[in-house]
Structure 1
Amino acid sequence: MPRHSSSAGPVITLYDTPGTRSQTWMPTVWRIRFILNYKRIPHRTVWVEIPEVEPTLRAIGAPPSSHRPDGRPIYTLPVIVDPSRNAQSPQILSNANNIAEYLEASYPQRPVFPEGSRALQTLFVHYIQEVFAKPLLPIMVPLSHDRLPARTQSHFHDTGVARSRTGTPGPGTGPGQALPPGPQREHAWGLVKEQFDFLAVILEKNVGDGDGVVAQGTHVSYADFALCSVLLWIEQMAPQDGWARVREWNGGRWARLRQRCQDYMDVF
């Protein structure tokens, strides 16, 4: 597959937050990175540790990704800055779904929303965020916390901030304790497997109409990137206890999906 260069002409800046090895890990950011790579859009990464997310985003004029019930803004990643249309007044966007819509409209080549699929894909991604990933939280949030830079870990303890269901910082009571080996952890993974089993049954309905791996047809789409982003979160933050399990579930379906997305995992 032809690769794009992050240094040729105007490039999009993607704001990301690193793990302990300066790796991308946050599912919502992975979604946008997948789209940029799939569409072969030149881009570069700016790494921002979580304690600096809000001041950094305010400084560049990024809109908040959401608001608290009292109206106070919440600043989370991903954020992109796109100077390609107007270098003096670049587009600055937050919220993964908003960014995905913008990239699809502004860079229509290699669409991630094939014709007629936008509504169903939007529902699918909502399901992944709100239902599918929910049982992962008591397992993955503490494990993710332990693999973040020390300064970020201190930030969560000092401020009582916890990560949301998609891995982004949000209001809460802290990351909690990792589940110890034993019945409680096995029960938690059992609840996760129920979601994977249900989704596998739904996706099996595509057999005969597609390749049996992606959400629709034979080409990856935004739905696949949203799901694969969760797989990569598990792989990166729980490689032994998590990904070692998940990759074997449902006849290896999830390992095959991850492999289908392999070409779009470059980090610039």
Structure 2
Amino acid sequence: MSGQAKAFRPEPGALTRWLILGIVGLVFLVPIVAMGEFTLRRGLEGGYDFSRWIAVFSGGLTGEYKGVLTALGNSVVLAIVTVAVMLVILVPTMILVQLKFSYLRRAMEFLCLLPITIPAIVLVVGLAPVYSVIAKMFGSGVWTLSFAYGIIVLPYAYRAIQANLSAIDVVTLSEAARSLGAGWLTVLVRVLLPNLRRGILSASFISVAVVLGEYTIAALLNRINLQTALVIVSKSDPFVAVIFALLALVFAFFLLLAIGRVGAPRRSRREPAASITAPAAVTPSGASS
């Protein structure tokens, strides 16, 4: 009976895992390869060359194509500001709810996951009057889109941080630090945030990927980011637009790899040699037995 239980494996075998990975990879790889082949075409004359790729990486793009580089800079600024706004507001709020107001956890989860159920075009209808006020107060710079992007990245960031937050005992850590004389700011910065590093980094990477791929809100609010610039360029030169789209996909792919790397458990080289020794028993008189 023990041999049968030992042989039972709830997870799929190595062959099954590689087969699933190969099928999923093929589904994603075929359109990417097609995009790459499209960018190498020489047009009506036939054949392939790398002239467009060379122009992109050598700075040979002029005129309207330089707008893509400007839009890329705008998207990078948006990603940085969005991550900063998201972390400053979301992380302390989640920690506070976990420590003091646990009865609000369900309500907060519902509010944080709500934006994923609302189409972006519906969000824009509600945000348009708000942005008319924001334009009067802060101007109409593209960075103001980070307030709207902070809403659409909220579900992804919440899930990433909450998974890490549920894996540690926040109450015990904070009470232990407070009993040693640490203030709440010290508890947050030096005790809790280092333990939430993986969740925070994962939330940041996912937020950057979402911001770089967002189009609807920027287009309807008349702001220029990477995706809106690619649509404009694609009307005159679809080849260059596809090249930048491929580069954005590659960047998002490496972000996902970074998330997996950050989330993977660390294995210490000294782990096999490490041993836990039981403490010596202490008699009521204080002498070790």
Answer 1 or 2: which has greater strand percent: 1
TM-score by length of structure 1 reads: 0.28
Higher helix share: 2
